[in-house]
Chain A
Amino acid sequence: MICYEVRKNSYYDSVTLMLISKEVKNIEGVKDVMVGMGTDLNKELSNNLGLGSEKLDELSPNDFFISADVVDEAIMEQVVERVNGLLKEKKSSAGSDYRPATIKSALEMMPEANMAVVSIAGQYAEGEVSRLLDNDLHVMLFSDNVSVEAELRLKQKAVDKGLLMMGPDCGTAIINGVPLAFANVVKKGPIGIVGASGTGTQEVSTLIDKLGSGLSQVIGTGGRDLKSEIGGLMMLQGFEALMRDESTEVIVLISKPPSPEVAEKILGKVSETKKPVVVDFIGGDIEAIKAAGAYPCLTLEDAAYKAVALAKGETPVDFTGFSLSDEAIDKVVTSKVAALKPEQKYFRGLFTGGTLADEAMKMLGQSFGGIYSNIPLSPEYAIENLTTLSGHVCLDLGEDQFTVGRPHPMIDPSTRSDRFKTDIANDVAVVLVDVVLGYGSHENPAKEVADAIHEVNKKLDNNVIYVASITGTEGDPQDLKASQSVLEAEGFIVMPSNAQAVRLVQKIMDQLNKKGA
């Protein structure tokens, strides 16, 4: 039977409610349940789950509801009780501080506020961010679903006022040493980053930290900044600020390949500074970067190595190998491949970080055949049907098709754990994953991966080769060493970077193909 609980004018944020939905689904006697606000999206999701009703159609985005398919009313009572308990738990852990409802009253509480982090539903973001900029606040706009037109209006306003407007869909920034949203705890140092790619920026900043250097500022721009519609407004704004900043000696720019006219504009600006500039336009035009007097990169890891070398006054060289010796790597590859059975042929990349998935596919190219994906390098490798996979596959599990009604897999690893169950079969030879630590991320993502793979392995007849890299530092709230140990205990080969993990996969697949031939 379908039961409902509705509370008018009770607002909670969507991530909290998605996590609560997941929790109450585990109650025995609950077939399906949705806990959410009365937004159009949630009404549609309820209908799709067979939990919709006219009662829900009347709700506004300020009204809270539970709709559940349960065996009887007593179970519904349990659901309501559990939801109340979880909401109360959340409230007490958030403290009893007064919470202003308007920007005006927030500024009365904190007149010297200089940064606003905005993560409300995208359709409401423009109005609120515009008001924040009017009040001379710098903004990090985490929300997605903000139109390109709104982004342009907001960024133009920010540029006119000399403010930062990082986003929309900006996942990471480190301002004055403070990680905002999804970011790692890194040492302070002479390298500044402006990044249009969240996990790409996290990967470079953590590797700089691991190489013993540090960061002055990490400015995010949101993924669309270097498209022609936006014209790189925030990358230029951030770059100019780092040019002036005395604590920044080396500047790193990270983005997917920009549109040509934006690349020209950015590289034109690059040629104006005497500070060394490292540019990773992931898979973009290397010659244009060289012509601007900047240092192009082969991978995110290479960007970190080059920036650290330049900060030390050394000449940067391409880093294309492994931290371990070639002999040690070859030994691992040979022993792992020898244990594979003849039917094990395929590669699976299952990523929570979009840029890391993109980097993996670009590095592997066509070397062992085309790789199918939800973010394919060319349209013929787009996956139509996500329920049955075949061939080599690499997925970005943070994309919309996996996150409707669920939090991003960096917050809720169960999205990926579910994919492990369906996507790793007896014909798979090697699985590659990323594990992203830092503020914002799940409290122990490595353990979630290890536990899920443990269950998958029980059902497989063959030994799959598991390769991982961890984007994280010793300073992160999750324990980096323990994260590595828990993965290794489950049989993972943990590599020092995404690039090295991909190179290892390449060697494994090469050897496998030689064996097959």
Chain B
Amino acid sequence: MNRIDRLFSQDLKVINMGLESFSKDLKKQEVPVVQMDWRPRAGGNAKLVALLDKLKSNK
């Protein structure tokens, strides 16, 4: 079954990465939601991020 067709037949379960107000709105509607404690990887340092990605792809 196509993944979008499957989505349309399921209850929505949401991961929210970013603005918390979106999570709060979903909670008000009793939609299951996990709010992430997201922050930029490697403190937003682009060089470090590239290194991390390289390490990961070498694994």
Contact = CB atoms under 8 A, between A and B. Distances in A.
B14 A117 contact: yes
A238 B8 CA distance: 12
A119 B35 CA distance: 12
A77 to B, nearest CB: 27
B35 A115 contact: no
Interface in A106-126: 106-107, 109-110, 112-121, 124
A283 interface: no
Contacts of A469: none
A179 B28 CA distance: 11
Given A61-B44, A112-B13, A241-B5, A99 B35 contact: yes
Contact of B41 (A118, A124, A440): A124
B41 to A, nearest CB: 7
A116 B17 contact: yes
B39 to A, nearest CB: 4
Contacts of A13: 18-20
Nearest to B24: A94
B20 A113 contact: no
Interface string B14-41: 1111111111111111011011111111
A176 B8 contact: yes
A93 interface: yes
Contacts of A180: 14, 22, 26
Interface residues of B, number: 41
Contacts of A164: 4, 7
A99 B22 contact: no
A93 B53 CA distance: 36
B58 interface: no
Contact of A121 (B11, B23, B40): B40
Given A106-B34, A109-B34, A136-B3, A114 B20 contact: no
Contact of A120 (B12, B17, B29): B17
B43 A61 contact: yes
A99 B37 contact: yes
A327 interface: no
Interface in A59-115: 60-62, 90, 93-95, 97, 99-103, 106-107, 109-110, 112-115
Nearest to B37: A99
Contacts of A61: 40, 43-44
A393 B12 CA distance: 43
A138 B13 CA distance: 11
19 contacts: A60-B40, A106-B34, A115-B13, A115-B15, A116-B17, A117-B16, A119-B16, A119-B22, A124-B40, A127-B53, A136-B3, A137-B15, A138-B7, A176-B10, A176-B11, A176-B12, A180-B26, A244-B2, A245-B5
Interface of B: 2-5, 7-8, 10-29, 31-32, 34-41, 43-45, 49, 53
Given A13-B18, A94-B20, 16 more contacts: A9-B43, A110-B15, A115-B14, A117-B15, A138-B7, A163-B3, A163-B4, A175-B7, A175-B8, A178-B12, A178-B26, A181-B22, A237-B4, A241-B8, A440-B22, A440-B25
